[in-house]
């Protein structure tokens, strides 16, 4: 039973790992470019959790300077993840913009179809 | 509060990053191609001035620690400059200055007028990100600058005139983001174990948690993440098409700087933070790196021989050359690391010169396929002469920069009794001789035909910059004080670690 207890006690890490692997799986398995980018977003989001959950202390308050507040959560991970979220949004926006342009140029967003076209162009060059 | 006088030389570390950042904003507001280029040129040429001043300060006064905003190191982002990254700052900023001088007419030729302003904007942002990665001493700040440079690089690549450029930019975006996220996972684990993001403080606290699993996992995550960024074989899949379809000048800049800065980050984390004992004593990292480096020296070289597109051929050759740099790291010795770092410097010169020569050819004729290059050496002797000179450096002919670094690598391998490794290096050089020789044979020993018969004259500044770099390849083959000497200092500094 101890292993079950350990899994339940660290459930936040298991959620992180699950999100991480499912994001990575979507990136690898999907040919649709938008789905790939969404997988990438899920993968990045799992990292937010990886940073945030160790920073939270059970019973701790937000880190505010006031008398009587002794146990508080670490504010640094939150600040870092705010930055990481901005980076993630920028990446996703740029990726989607590229997919729009690729769709205009190729008429499809399926990566295997585009790869086939690119291969043909490589040989016809 | 006493107001201290604001001295310019005290704030050079911040200026190194802030100038291109502000420049990119100005360029974005200007939009007009020529005006944007002038701003870019001013920013780009101020970079080597700052970088040399910093190198000078480091040489005379030792390591510079610059606290951003004047906050104490523990609670702020520290810029930490020692001989290793001062050397890298000089390399990146000189490359940026030279390529900026080279590019206006090449860019005007390859990119639509309304987009040229945005090109220069992203070019400066990319420069800002690369310099930021090199200068900062904060693990998370490295990630932020890495993404600044990478996102602008995706934009630069997508601006290539071929529609395949967008697909390669997309593929680079997916793999590059995976790499950066792997890096952040590694940093997150290190942060949980040590409670700091400052690389210097982190190094001091690592010994207390040595032999814990998160530490090794963090090393693996960072290794894979940076491996993707620096195109370590077999994580190089994004690189060939990205280099082949990006605008010529952008390719030359990215090829000579981006992967090099990623190598530096790997060196910094592995040697300075982890230290040789933990990184190579507790893990089989050296053996794994050695195996990958050997594969990288052979496999992409063979692939390069069969490429039809000259830019893609040079791109595969870049993957092979990164194998040499990794080999220097995997040897974990003073000589080996000196070889790796000096090859990082020399390869930047060589590859920039080759890509710039190809850029001249693309400008004059529009040719990118090797078979169409028949006789182009006779109609464009100046451009192809530089190509041959830099090509000799790529092969590692004695008297060129490439020879010096390969010599260090071979010496490093022999020192450890790895004679067969010397043979592998020579074999990989023979492969380089075949793929460079193939281009030289087509370009010089065949009758001109097609577009190669009457090329338009390449602009003077393009030819001059190409030749400056090609002559530098020869110069650093004879004068080894600067490249190998500084590389040796950087190597001993890195091997000593932060502790």
Contacts of B144 (CB under 8 A, 6+ apart): A83, A87, B132
Out of A44, A54, A87, the one facing B192 most closely (by C-beta) is: A54
Q: Report d(CA B206, CA B165) in Å as an integer.
A: 43
Percent of chain B having pLDDT more than 90? 48
Per-residue pLDDT tens for B248-307? 999 999 999 999 999 999 999 999 888 888 888 778 888 889 999 999 999 999 999 998
More confident residue, B452 or B286: B286
pLDDT above 60 for B465: yes
Cβ contact B184–A84 (<8 Å): yes
Residue B1 has pLDDT above 50, yes or no: no
Q: What is the pTM of this model?
A: 0.93
Burial of B481 from C-beta contacts in 10 A (0-12 / 13-18 / 19+): exposed
Pairwise CB contact (< 8 Å): B181 & A43? yes
3-state secondary structure B73-141: HHHCCEEEECHHHHHHHHHHHHHHHHHHHHCHHHHHHHCCHHHHHHHHHHHHHHHHHHHHHHHECEHHH
Contact B178 A27 (CB under 8 A): yes
What average pLDDT does range B319-344 have in this prediction? 91
Residue-range domain boundaries for chain A = 2-124
Q: Is the pLDDT of residue B364 over 80?
A: yes
A2-124 folds as Helix Hairpins (1.10.287)
- Cβ-Cβ contacts under 8 Å, A51 against chain B: 188, 191
Report yes or no: B319 and B233 within 8 Å, Cβ to Cβ. yes
Beta carbons within 10 angstroms of residue B367's beta carbon: 19
Q: Which residues are CB-contacts of B221 (< 8 A; sequence separation ≥ 6)? A: B182, B183, B185, B186, B189
- Mean of the pLDDT values across residues B436-440? 91
pLDDT band, residue B5 (cuts 50/70/90):
low
- Range B178-206 average pLDDT: 90
pLDDT in tens, A96-123: 999 999 999 999 999 889 888 888 888 8
**Structure token digits, residue B404:** 């010096």
Cβ contacts of residue A10 below 8 Å, gap of 6+?
A: none
Mean pLDDT of chain B: 89
Q: How far is A68 from chain B (nearest CA, A)?
A: 24
ipTM score: 0.93
Cβ(B118)–Cβ(B60) below 8 Å:
no
| Digit-coded pLDDT (tens) for B203-255 | 888 888 877 888 889 999 999 999 999 998 888 889 999 999 999 999 999 99
């Amino acid at each position: 039973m101890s292993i079950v207890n350990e899994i339940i006690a660290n459930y936040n890490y298991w959620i992180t790992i699950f999100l991480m692997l499912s994001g990575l799986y979507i990136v690898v398995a999907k040919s649709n470019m938008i789905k790939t980018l969404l997988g990438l977003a899920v993968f990045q989001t799992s990292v937010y959790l990886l940073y945030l959950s160790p920073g939270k202390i059970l019973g701790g308050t937000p880190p505010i300077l006031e008398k009587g507040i002794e146990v508080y959560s670490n504010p640094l991970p939150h600040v870092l993840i705010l930055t990481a979220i901005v980076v993630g949004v920028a990446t996703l926006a740029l990726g989607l913009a590229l997919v729009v342009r690729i769709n205009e140029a190729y008429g499809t967003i399926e990566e295997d179809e585009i790869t086939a076209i690119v291969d043909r162009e490589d040989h016809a060059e | 509060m006493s107001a201290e006088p604001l001295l310019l030389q005290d704030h050079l570390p911040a200026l190194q990053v802030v100038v291109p950042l502000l420049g990119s904003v100005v360029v974005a507001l200007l939009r007009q191609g020529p005006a944007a280029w002038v701003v870019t040129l001013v920013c780009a040429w101020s970079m080597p001035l700052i970088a040399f001043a910093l190198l000078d300060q480091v040489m005379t006064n030792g390591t510079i620690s610059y606290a951003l905003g004047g906050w104490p190191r523990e609670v702020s982002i520290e810029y930490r400059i020692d001989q290793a990254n001062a050397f890298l700052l000089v390399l990146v900023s000189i490359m940026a200055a030279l390529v900026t001088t080279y590019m206006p007419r090449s860019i005007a030729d390859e990119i639509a007028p309304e987009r040229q302003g945005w090109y220069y904007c992203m070019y400066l942002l990319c420069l800002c990100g690369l310099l930021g990665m090199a200068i900062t001493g904060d693990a998370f700040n490295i990630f932020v600058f890495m993404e600044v440079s990478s996102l602008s690089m995706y934009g630069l690549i997508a601006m290539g005139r071929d529609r395949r450029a967008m697909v390669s930019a997309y593929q680079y975006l997916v793999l590059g983001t995976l790499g950066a996220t792997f890096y952040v996972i590694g940093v997150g684990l290190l942060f949980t174990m040590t409670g700091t993001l400052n690389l210097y403080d982190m190094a001091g606290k690592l010994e207390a948690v040595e032999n814990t699993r998160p530490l090794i996992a963090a090393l693996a995550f960072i290794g894979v993440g940076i491996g993707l960024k620096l195109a370590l074989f077999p994580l190089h899949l994004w690189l060939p098409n990205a280099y082949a379809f990006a605008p010529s000048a952008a390719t030359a800049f990215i090829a000579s700087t981006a992967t090099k800065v990623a190598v530096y980050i790997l060196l910094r984390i592995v040697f300075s933070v982890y230290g040789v004992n933990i990184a190579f004593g507790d893990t089989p990292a050296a053996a794994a790196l050695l195996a990958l480096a050997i594969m990288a020296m052979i496999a992409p070289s063979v692939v390069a021989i069969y490429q039809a597109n000259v830019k893609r051929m040079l791109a595969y050759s870049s993957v092979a050359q990164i194998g040499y740099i990794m080999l220097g790291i995997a040897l974990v010795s003073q000589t080996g690391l000196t070889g790796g770092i000096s090859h990082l410097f020399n390869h930047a010169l060589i590859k920039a010169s080759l890509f710039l020569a190809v850029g001249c050819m693309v400008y004059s004729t529009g040719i990118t396929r090797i078979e169409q290059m028949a006789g182009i050496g006779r109609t464009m002797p100046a451009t192809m002469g530089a190509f041959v000179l830099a090509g000799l450096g790529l092969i590692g002919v004695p008297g060129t920069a490439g020879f010096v670094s390969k010599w260090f690598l071979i010496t490093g391998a022999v020192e450890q009794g790895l004679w067969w490794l010397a043979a592998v290096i020579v074999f990989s050089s023979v492969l380089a001789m075949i793929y460079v020789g193939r281009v030289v044979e087509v370009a010089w020993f065949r009758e001109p035909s097609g577009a190669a018969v009457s090329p338009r004259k390449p602009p003077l500044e393009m030819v001059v910059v190409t030749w400056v770099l090609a002559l530098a390849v020869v110069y650093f083959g004879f004068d080894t004080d600067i490249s190998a000497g500084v590389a040796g200092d950087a190597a001993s500094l890195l091997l000593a670690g932060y502790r």
